[in-house]
Amino acid sequence: MAKTKYTRGSDGYFSTKVWDGTYNPVTGQKNRKNLRTKKSSKALEDMVNEYKANVSERKNIRKADITFFQYARKWKEVYKAQRSNATKAMYDNIIEKHFSCIEYVKLQDIDRMHLQIMLNNADGKKKIQQQIMLTFKQVLRSAVADRLFPANVMEDIFQNIEPVKYSAKEKRALTPEEKYAVFKADFQEQDRIFVYLIYGCGLRREEVLALTIFDFNLTKREIAINKAHDLTHGTPVHKEPKTKNGYRIVPIPDKIYHTIASYVSSLKSKGHTYLFTMRDWKPMTKSSYDKMWKRILKAIEDVTGEPAAGLTAHVFRHNYCTNLCYQIPQISIKKIAQLMGDTEAVVLKVYNHIILEKEDAATAVNEALNF
């Protein structure tokens, strides 16, 4: 006689637990439903098979008429409200421009075909395709947590679709001609201070634009970074630094100190607060910054005699970190990360090739063993 699959418990019931197709949003563990019957092991087995079939056919979820597009909009509004304006702008672009092609598809009917349609529409734009994949996955995970979409179907979608391979363009440092132009170009006074700060202190653009006279300790030759200005929507919005590591103290190099100190002291004597302003002394808007950067590029190109292709404020920051990495071991990776307002992992990921370039294992071993 064949052995029964389930045994009767002391309470007189045959029972077992079956995955209901969802996950616990806190622990990430599978949610399970307890099935039980007094009839027989075979009766419980039939119940289990029927329940699993319902899960597979998406019947074991809360019914809702909301479309995937509607849910994605609400997801961005509710669950991503605390993200930076730049991140929210990215989600807006993906949802409004790319998810709209499946605007009328119900959330519970979503399958890998719909994801593939959106990826196909963005053919040739690997970065956009990657953002579509990322956003699509985050929206579905949220729907699973809200018990509006079956977790097993979500898993099948991503197991059966080709991943998007995208690598950002390699960041460039300043050219020798551009470095020369930093100190030779005929900048306007405010423009010169901006260039000096991104060149000599490696600050992010939004950090520089938020600087006030109170952030400078001219005696110690230091700048305190504790805020930023977001220009995503044109007008400056005061915000925290990019990450918790963004709060930091940065030294002012000797080469730019006297120019910076003179400018800050001049603002103090005039009763002004912000370093970078418009004519009314209010913080710079996006359009004002764009005009300033256009002047900066023109002044640099006048010195180099060639177009400053791809030259952005971030290139100066990248150049700063690159130069610091070449100073290892005089400065540690940990200290470089602190000065950049990043983690050591970020510095290693981006600049490890420079660190490896400086390594000389054979000499290090010989010197270590040279008694």
| Predicted confidence (pLDDT) at residue 1 exceeds the cutoff of 80 | no
Same-domain pairing of 208 and 299? yes
Same-domain pairing of 139 and 287? no
Same-domain pairing of 234 and 306? yes
| Predicted confidence (pLDDT) at residue 187 exceeds the cutoff of 70 | yes
CATH number, position 126: 1.10.150.130
In angstroms, how far is CA 356 from the centroid of its own chain? 26
Q: Residue 138: inside a domain, yes or no? A: yes
Same-domain pairing of 36 and 82? no
pTM confidence score: 0.68
Same-domain pairing of 320 and 298? yes
In angstroms, how far is CA 245 from the centroid of its own chain? 14
Please, what is the angle between helix 126-145 and helix 68-79, to 10°?
80
**Total domains in the fold of the chain:** 3
Most confident of 21-35, 40-54, 281-295: 281-295
For the chain, what's the residue count?
A: 371
Enclosing domain of residue 34: 14-56
Same-domain pairing of 134 and 182? no
Same-domain pairing of 45 and 87? no
Please state, in angstroms and rounded to a whole number, the distance separating the CA atoms of residues 89 and 286.
15
- The answer to whether 311 and 162 have CB atoms below 8 angstroms apart is no
Q: Residue 87: inside a domain, yes or no? A: yes
> Which amino acid is located at 18 in the chain?
V
pLDDT > 70 fraction of the chain, expressed in percent and rounded: 88
Same-domain pairing of 313 and 193? yes
Confidence of residue 366 (pLDDT cuts 50, 70, 90): low
Same-domain pairing of 287 and 345? yes
Q: Residue 4: inside a domain, yes or no? A: no
Same-domain pairing of 331 and 192? yes
Q: Residue 62: inside a domain, yes or no? A: no
| Predicted confidence (pLDDT) at residue 32 exceeds the cutoff of 70 | yes
Q: Residue 280: inside a domain, yes or no? A: yes
Q: What is the pLDDT of residue 283?
A: 95
Instruction: Of 248, 230, 247, give the one whose Cα is nearest residue 239.
Output: 230
Q: How many other C-beta atoms can be found within 10 angstroms of the C-beta atom of residue 138?
A: 16
Q: Residue 369: inside a domain, yes or no? A: no
Q: Residue 171: inside a domain, yes or no? A: no
Q: Residue 9: inside a domain, yes or no? A: no
Q: Which of 159, 194, 224 is the last residue of a domain?
A: 159
| Predicted confidence (pLDDT) at residue 139 exceeds the cutoff of 90 | yes
